[in-house]
Amino acid sequence: MPEAHLNRILGEVKGSGVLEALVERLSPSDLQSLLMEVAGRRAAKVTPAGLLKRFKEDRFSRLAAADPRDALEFDRLAYSVATPAFEPVELSPVCPLGTVSAVGTVSQNKVVATVRSSEVVSDLTNVMALECAVRRSSGAIVRLCSSHRLLRAQGISGPISFAHFRVFGLCSAGRDSGSHGFEFGELCEQINVHLRLLSALRLIWPGIEAVRVFLTDLRGDLEGRLGEAVVEPLRCEFPDVEFGFDRERTTARNYYQTASLDIRVLDGTGEEMSLGDGGFTSWTAQLLGNQKERLLISALGSERLCVLFGKHRKPVVPE
């Protein structure tokens, strides 16, 4: 950065608190320039030995846990069962700053931000919601699917918890059609995709002994209709899948609205693991300023599925 430019920016923060100046007084372009200068000067001090040490110790830099051959096979199957109902999209590694915190309840502290007013994608459904909002200008229902590697900054623990991991997500955006017609129809559509994908995986990956799907009525008055409009049609199509309602679910109650879903699998030892999650959010309603907008999101943890059941899986070592 030219010295005169740097001195002008530094002059802006004189006589005020540094945090207040950085947040309130500097323009976005000046803040970006200052942060880039800081990053450049710090990078100039990095030695090869220090770089290697950081690479070995930094959990954000570790190799992916899943074997890439399993990940590719998962994605091939996922896109084959999701299309043509859902349009595949390939997301950018980054998205605008505030993508998860501006419309949701997720803390910005759980996100890895960049110095260029962006953040590394930590939830692909938030990004797909933005794309859905753009496409909803046509008035048509928008259905998108994507496989993406996410990076999250919060502390992690456990042998199958990772700082970065791959998931396969679905997004359905439309308008309230009355009597929860959109909601029930899209719930059936998305759960159908996830269950057909798991059925295909069970044919090629040993160890997935059973699949269970649980819905939670977050309004308190929809369970009967959810049973008739969603559970019964799916139960007829997937007779080997157990369906039920989780009335005790407390997680994500402030995150989802109307109804949520939880997809669980059992391994050969009988251990049950939640590997899929979803529900309705108000994101497109907020983005478009229209309370009639509806959005259903869901995702399967492909990284975990690959690690636990893939053909090339490695032994899971407890931390």
- On whether both 132 and 177 belong to a single domain, the answer is yes
CATH number of the domain where residue 129 is located? 3.30.930.10
- Establish whether the linkage from the previous residue to 84 is cis, with ω within 30° of 0: yes
Domain count, the chain: 2
- Is the residue at 124 inside a domain? yes
- On whether both 7 and 125 belong to a single domain, the answer is no
- Is the residue at 91 inside a domain? yes
Tell me: pLDDT of 132 over 60: yes
- On whether both 86 and 215 belong to a single domain, the answer is yes
> Which position has the token pair 């200068």?
37
Global pTM?
Answer: 0.90
- On whether both 37 and 107 belong to a single domain, the answer is no
- On whether both 155 and 303 belong to a single domain, the answer is yes
Nearest CA to 260 among 219, 232, 202, 301?
Answer: 219
- Tell me: the pLDDT tens digits for 139-154? 899 999 999 999 999 8
- On whether both 26 and 164 belong to a single domain, the answer is no
Give me the mean pLDDT over the 268-292 stretch. Answer: 93
Instruction: Give the residue with greater pLDDT, 224 vs 31.
Output: 224
| Contact criterion met (CB below 8 Å) for 137 and 293 | no
Say what the pLDDT of residue 30 is: 86
For 69, the domain range is: 61-309
- Is the residue at 88 inside a domain? yes
Long-range contacts (CB closer than 8 Å, 24 or more residues apart) made by 202-205: 204/73, 204/311, 205/305, 205/309, 205/310, 205/311
Instruction: Give the residue with greater pLDDT, 318 vs 224.
Output: 224
- Tell me: the pLDDT tens digits for 54-112? 999 999 999 999 999 999 999 999 999 999 999 999 999 999 999 999 998 888 889 99
- On whether both 13 and 106 belong to a single domain, the answer is no
Could you tell me what percent of the chain has a pLDDT over 70?
94
Tell me: pLDDT of 156 over 80: no
Mean pLDDT over each residue of the chain, to the nearest integer: 90
- On whether both 41 and 79 belong to a single domain, the answer is no
Say what the pLDDT of residue 185 is: 96
Say what the pLDDT of residue 106 is: 86
Q: Give the integer Cα–Cα distance in Å for 261 and 93.
A: 27
